[in-house]
Amino acid sequence: MARKLAPGSRLIIASHNKGKLREIEALVSPLGIEIVSAGALGLPEPDEDAPDFAGNARIKALAAATAGGLPALSDDSGFCVAALDGAPGVLSARWAGPTKDFTAAMSLVNERMADATDRRAWFVAALCLAWPDGHTETFLGRVDGTVVWPPRGERGFGYDPMFVPAGASTTFGEMDPDAKHAISHRARAFAQVLAACFG
């Protein structure tokens, strides 16, 4: 049985990514949980050297929970393209380089896809809730769709402007944040966290 986080608890959001912080804060805020970011606590970013999203999420959550002495929620997520054998995948942030230039990263995806006819793509999010004693709970969410080029929209972050989720006509970069939150990979993973670990 999953360990619960009661209303009124303090929770570290183990991310330095402002876009992810905004999305996670929006998901957590109605729960009566006091949140603080790893950056606000001055916690360093650990090396993410696991081969999968769940492993990297666990690394980040455990590092923040141990250093901060509070439960910590982390996210590791990425953009996966069928024509690139699932790349950039766990290396999604690294494709953007040290300056986090996702315009360049999207161009690189398009360049490597060349004239591929398979436009299938998906976002994956692994959320891990960790406690200072080393206990963890990990949950996965996924949303499928297609790659579009050129990118469309100024909303969202990362690869959002080049991804149209299945059943939609607009990219994540064009969607109202509430519409994206309703169907995103992160929201799907968070629904599992909510059901298992809150309340």
DSSP string, 159-170: TGGGEEETT-SS
> pTM value?
0.89
Residue 1 included in any domain: no
Cα dihedral 41, 46, 52, 58, rounded to 10, equals -50
Measured distance CA(62)–CA(47) in Å, rounded: 12
Judge whether 76 counts as a catalytic residue.
yes
Report pLDDT for 194.
Answer: 87
Range of 163's domain?
A: 10-197
**What is the CATH classification number for the domain harbouring 15?**
3.90.950.10
In a domain, 17, yes or no: yes
Is 48 among the domain residues? yes
Selecting among 76, 133, 160, 176, the annotated active-site residue is 76
Please count the structural domains in the chain: 1
Question: Tens of pLDDT along the chain (199 residues)?
Answer: 678 888 888 999 998 778 778 878 887 878 888 889 998 899 988 988 999 999 999 999 999 999 999 999 999 999 999 999 999 999 999 999 999 999 999 999 999 999 999 999 999 999 999 999 999 999 999 999 999 999 999 998 899 999 999 999 999 999 998 899 889 998 899 899 988 888 6
Q: What pLDDT is recorded for position 1? A: 67
